[in-house]
Structure 1
Amino acid sequence: MTILPNERALPATGVIVILITVFAMALTDAFVKFSSANLTLWQIYVLRSVIAIPALLLLTRRAVWPSAPGWVALRSASLLLMYLAIYAAIPILDLSVIAASLYTAPLFIVLLSSLVLGEPIARYQWTGIVTGLVGVLLIVRPAASGFSLLPLIPVAAAFLYAIAAIVTRAKCVRETPMTMALWLNVTLLIAGTIASLAIGFAAPLPAYPFLFGSWAAMGTREWQIIAVLAALIIGVSIGLARAYQSPKPQIIATFDYAYLIFAAFWGYVFFGEVPSPLTVTGMALIAFAGVMVLCTASPPEKRQDRPGDPEQSNL
């Protein structure tokens, strides 16, 4: 699929791709949460990647080796740790809470863009950052009697997502979505294999089997789940890279917030989860803050692009 570098092009394709992608992302998280009682995270990583990697190799029409392997490796490692943070909390937290905490990522992207890339932060973007933090506090509720730090785990995932976004934007512009998807799955396969062997040698921890348990026996139902997860990760990993290489990535990112709706929907369908009024309010504030941060035009900055360079883009 050809990526248009023209800034004036309408990002209609990117909008459609991101909506389909976040729908699949929310469904993936629901399936992982659903299977967390029977399968380990590392088992999912290994078996899913064993199916996904050959499929991606068949779909890849260009060279599979990245032009900037170090930066692609850093991007893949950041996303690996992001998934680990999300899935560490997924057996315990509602999907809607995880989604809301994760979608503080645009706030981190703006801050890191300022620190790393030297991009100025507009006044309304600062307002959006503060609004998003208020939304996080409504979800975490530090003053409540049942206060828990667990919702901050997906906030850490959001920070890692932001790192991956900045790396993609600044250093992986020339990579194809298929190449980035392939090496992300290779990274997941390697990490899953190493973790599985380490747990096997060190002995499992029954207190938290999803992260530290032994592999479960695979029946027809388990293989069906793995096949669905493999199909979803192929679509998600290609879709994310493709969507954010569209023109006007800030517009694409606003539609990314549809994940909050889809996560709440799948949480209700699979687990009967109904967010509390404060959680819904916090989700709304975070979504509003993200849209404010992403849609506020930053002051003009000097460009030093060489003739023929593609337009820089987010994750």
Structure 2
Amino acid sequence: MTIVATVFGMALADAFIKKYSIAMTLWQIYVLRSAFVLPVLLIATRGRIRVPGLGWILLRSMLLALMYLAMYAVISWLKLSVIAASIYTAPLFIVTLSALLLRDPVTPRQWVAILIGFLGVLLVVEPGASAFQPLALVPLGAALFYAVAAVVTRARCRATSAATLAVWLNLSLLLWGALASILIASTKVGSALDYPFLLGHWGTMSPGEWRTIIVLALLMIGISVGLARAYQSPRPQVIAVFDYSFLIFAAFWGYIFFDEIPNPPTLIGMVLIASAGSLVLRADAASTEAR
């Protein structure tokens, strides 16, 4: 499925950004990555990016930019699994917002599947452990931004091509990165608050870091298009549950990059998440056949 491939790429991109957060600033990554991504996407769209409903597209882009900011603001301090678990309360928000705002029907079995998936999230986070430190609340804000962006995509941006949505998202990230870089360079905020990844000046790029930017650009093309295409689906409940697979991929890349080994509660949580995905697919298939 598109969403599974997309979140696989998202988890890998997050691992790269966490790994190189010492060498580059977030805004440097935004600007350089988008500089590689945008020409490819503009060729794909033939430069036709002014489309009806541009206001909604800009709102969606802003929400996703805020999602990335809230997520990456704490990526140097928290484990990937903690960030992933906090963010992937988003599917609960997505299904709830779809039901309340779009009047999408959600069957009892689908609600059970979502709750099972959320229970899996809680096991990954381990209530009462260090994962519930105040910083872990920041990715919850990212989850809300992500959920609202998903609902906006479904409700108002379905007629817009995925490539066009990706262009505007990357234009927004480029603009955010450039403005933040200029602001930091012209003020002393970076020296007053010692957090170079978010508030530092651009670092000198090594060949390895340039290769990382190119990899991140390739991943971003897939992520930008994949997110747009996935949430244009008429089955947001199914997409929402399979979003949880990000947790599995985050744990995998956490092990590959940082030698993080999932503990037993995390493994149980992954099983529950996979079970939730299977349950919601069966529920969706049953409701389709009934109609």
Q: CA deviation at 1:115?
A: 2.5
Q: CA deviation at 1:243?
A: 3.5
Letter in 2 for 1:213: G
Sort the Cα spacing of 1:18 and 1:109 in 2 relative to 1 into closer, same or farther, 3 A: closer
* Aligned counterpart, 1:276: 263
* Aligned counterpart, 1:43: 28
Query: Percent identity between the aligned chains?
Result: 55
Report if aligned partners of 1:125, 1:292 keep a CA contact under 8 Å in 2.
yes
- Please give the alpha-carbon distance, in whole angstroms, between the structure 2 residues aligned to 1:145 and 1:235: 33
User: More deviation in 44-53 or 126-135?
Assistant: 126-135
Q: CA deviation at 1:66?
A: 2.6
SS of aligned partner of 2:154: helix
1:206-264 alpha-carbon deviations (Å, 9 max, x no partner) = 53211111111122222111111111111211122223445645445544443322222
* Aligned counterpart, 1:68: 53
Sort the Cα spacing of 1:152 and 1:242 in 2 relative to 1 into closer, same or farther, 3 A: same
Normalising by structure 2, we get a TM-score of 0.86
- Please give the alpha-carbon distance, in whole angstroms, between the structure 1 residues aligned to 2:148 and 2:157: 12
Determine which structure has the larger helix proportion and give its number.
2
Report if aligned partners of 2:117, 2:241 keep a CA contact under 8 Å in 1.
no
- Please give the alpha-carbon distance, in whole angstroms, between the structure 2 residues aligned to 1:247 and 1:207: 45
SS of aligned partner of 2:31: helix
Unmatched runs of 5 consecutive residues or more in structure 2: none
Determine whether 1:265 maps to 2:265.
Answer: no
How many corresponding residue pairs?
Answer: 285
TM-align CA RMSD: 2.7
- Please give the alpha-carbon distance, in whole angstroms, between the structure 2 residues aligned to 1:119 and 1:243: 17
Determine whether 1:173 maps to 2:150.
Answer: no
Sort the Cα spacing of 1:148 and 1:280 in 2 relative to 1 into closer, same or farther, 3 A: farther
- Please give the alpha-carbon distance, in whole angstroms, between the structure 2 residues aligned to 1:169 and 1:192: 27
- Please give the alpha-carbon distance, in whole angstroms, between the structure 1 residues aligned to 2:133 and 2:118: 16
Sort the Cα spacing of 1:227 and 1:124 in 2 relative to 1 into closer, same or farther, 3 A: same
1:257-298 alpha-carbon deviations (Å, 9 max, x no partner) = 433222222111111111222333344445545665676459
* Aligned counterpart, 2:141: 156
Unmatched runs of 5 consecutive residues or more in structure 1: 1-14, 301-315
Normalising by structure 1, we get a TM-score of 0.80
- Please give the alpha-carbon distance, in whole angstroms, between the structure 2 residues aligned to 1:105 and 1:58: 32
Letter in 1 for 2:266: T
User: More deviation in 194-203 or 132-141?
Assistant: 132-141
Q: CA deviation at 1:194?
A: 1.2
Determine whether 1:210 maps to 2:192.
Answer: no
